[in-house]
Amino acid sequence: MRNASRIVTDSGSLDSRSARVIDVDHLPVLARGCAVMGAGGGGDSLIGVLMAREAILRHGPVPLVDLDDLPDDDLVMPCGLVGAPTVAIEKLESGEEGVRLAEEVQTLLGRPVAAIMPFEIGGSNGVIPLTWAARLGLPYVDADGMGRAFPLMPQMTMNLAGVSSSPCLLSDERLNTLVLRTGSVQWTERLLRSTVAAFGGAGVAALYLMDVKTARRATVRGSVSKALKIGSVIMRGDVDPVQAIVTELRAQELMRGKVVEVERATAGGFVRGTVLIEDQHDATRLLRLEIQNENLAALEDGQVRACVPDIITVLDAASGGVLVTERLRYGQRVSVIAFPVDPIWRTPEGLAVAGPGAFGYDFEHSEIGATDAGD
């Protein structure tokens, strides 16, 4: 393992702050944290755990490295699963796809991939690339391209930082491999979607290839550590795990209550819907969640209480476990929490690609808290 000498290892501990190697015991912890950061999207992280577990058992633990600890010119490969998470549950990847993408990158660019980075920390994508890091014997970068989960390829910090989305590499479990070179990230998104549909609904992708020096300014730093931290709080076994998460994240609990209405439809490759939650103490209070794969906005009495790009996550009120959008059902006892996204998404450029307007809403983004929906 070429960077092993620079890594302080502490493989036995579940304490996220010192976990500089990710071993099988860290996987459930990491997965729970990634689920919280997924804003209800990003797919079921259990798949990621199963894939990464097998690879780590066979190839050994994966060093977790900070970008500051890697040489400037080392090549970082941001990667993850693309397509519908609901498909990915049934169409399991072989685990070889990411290895093939790294080989293809080396052929294309004439230099080896030095580190693997999840392009999306939220949901299963914060865990799945560990599979490939383990197989390749490469470290896992403590950063990602979203700081949460978003549905589209332009919604990555690398795009905001001016890193090209080309070449974009795609693969599936049947050994099909594609290299896309496009004139814009919008064309990358379009051609990637059509290919993933032809794959059968899911595949793996690597894009925004960059050197470490660029990655330091173009990513959300420390997001893997953050997910591990959140996960360890959930697993600590507090009496009120929701409150523990709220405290840890300095989150706002928008409402605790019961799901009283779920409207959901799958169209154009996205899950869209509305969920109503009734306050547990005051049945006249209703919180409306607007969903497009992720939880995009929470409104009460026509006022926006939280919205993209900030993170809205629905937790099981008893266990603190995350309820992803496709698992919300009538009668569930839930807590809806909201917490701030990485500040890059609150810049004008960030809001342009991932603010409410980017998802078709006509209200402005506001810091978490009450504001008029009619703005």
Q: Work out which of 182, 243, 303, 371 binds a copy of itself, going by CB under 8 A.
A: 182
Minimum gap (Å) between residue 94 Cβ and a copy of itself: 12
| 260 touches a copy of itself by CB under 8 A | no
* Of 109, 123, 154, 127, nearest in space to 62 by CA: 127
- Residue 346 has φ and ψ, to the nearest 5°, of -95, 0
Chain residues 208-227 in contact with a copy of itself, contact rule CB under 8 A: none
Minimum gap (Å) between residue 202 Cβ and a copy of itself: 14
DSSP 276: E
| 17 touches a copy of itself by CB under 8 A | no
Q: Mask of contacts with a copy of itself, 60-79, x by CB under 8 A?
A: --------------------
Minimum gap (Å) between residue 194 Cβ and a copy of itself: 4
Instruction: Give the contacts of 181 (CB within 8 A, at least 6 positions apart).
Output: 166, 167, 168
Compare residues 195 and 335 and give the one whose CB is closer to a copy of itself: 195
| 270 touches a copy of itself by CB under 8 A | no
* Of 131, 125, 127, 117, nearest in space to 76 by CA: 117
| 4 touches a copy of itself by CB under 8 A | no
Within 324-369, strands assigned E span: 333-339
| 194 touches a copy of itself by CB under 8 A | yes
| 177 touches a copy of itself by CB under 8 A | yes
| 91 touches a copy of itself by CB under 8 A | no
CB contact at 8 A, 41 and 293: yes
Instruction: Give the contacts of 154 (CB within 8 A, at least 6 positions apart).
Output: 165, 185, 186, 189, 353
| 266 touches a copy of itself by CB under 8 A | no
CB contact at 8 A, 88 and 194: no
* Of 91, 85, 269, 84, nearest in space to 172 by CA: 91
Cα 251 vs. chain centroid, distance in angstroms?
Answer: 18
Q: Mask of contacts with a copy of itself, 147-176, x by CB under 8 A?
A: ---------------------------xxx
Q: Work out which of 7, 14, 89, 191 binds a copy of itself, going by CB under 8 A.
A: 191
Q: Which residue ranges make up the site for a copy of itself (CB under 8 A)?
A: 174-183, 187, 190-191, 193-195, 197-198
